Amino acid sequence: MATALSIDLLFEAAVKIQVMHERNIQLSFTEFGIYIKFPTTRRLAEFLDVPHYYVLPFFAVMEEEDLVTRVERVGIATTRKGTVRFLAMLNERYREDAEKLLGPALLNDILSSAQLPEKSP
C-alpha cells in the first residue's frame, strides 16, 4: 500500500468515485441540511486497492467524529459535518468535474446551502 489510509483519503476517494467514476451523487435534502450517500466500505476498499477490513476502523472513527452515520437498509451517509467536509473537498479539488456533473448553478446552490463559498465570477 503506497499511501497510508486516512479519513481525508477516504473522503477524497468518495468524491472521486462519485464525481469522476460513477458520475452519480445521491443527495438527501432535509430541514436540517444536506446529506450525501457515501460509497460502501467495500467499494472504497476496492477503489483504494486495500483489503476491506482496512477501511472499517476508519469508519468507526468517522462515526465517532460525527462525519458519517450508518442508516439501516440504506448504507452510509454523511452527517451535516461530513457533508461540509465532502463538499469543501469537492469544491477545492474537483470543482470542474462537479460542474460538469451537476451544472454550475446547482453546484453553487448546494454549496450555498452547506454554507460554502461559491466560485467567484
C-alpha cell at 112: 450555498
pTM of the model: 0.88
- The pLDDT of residue 25 is 95
- The pLDDT of residue 73 is 76
Residue 119 maps to a domain = no
- The pLDDT of residue 119 is 53
AA identity, residue 92:
E
Grid look-up 456533473 returns 101
- Say if residue 46 is exposed, middle or buried (CB neighbours under 10 Å; 0-12, 13-18, 19+): middle
- The pLDDT of residue 101 is 95
- The pLDDT of residue 120 is 44
Tally the domains of the chain: 1
Range of the domain at 46: 7-113
Residue 118 maps to a domain = no
CATH of the domain at 94: 1.10.10.10
Residue 121 maps to a domain = no
How far lies 12's CA from each of 47, 52, 105, in Å?
11, 17, 23
Q: pLDDT in tens for each of the 121 residues of the chain?
A: 446 899 999 999 999 999 999 999 999 888 888 899 999 999 999 999 999 999 999 999 999 999 999 877 778 999 999 999 999 999 999 999 999 999 999 999 999 887 765 554 4
Spatial contact of 82 and 47, defined as CB atoms under 8 Å apart: no
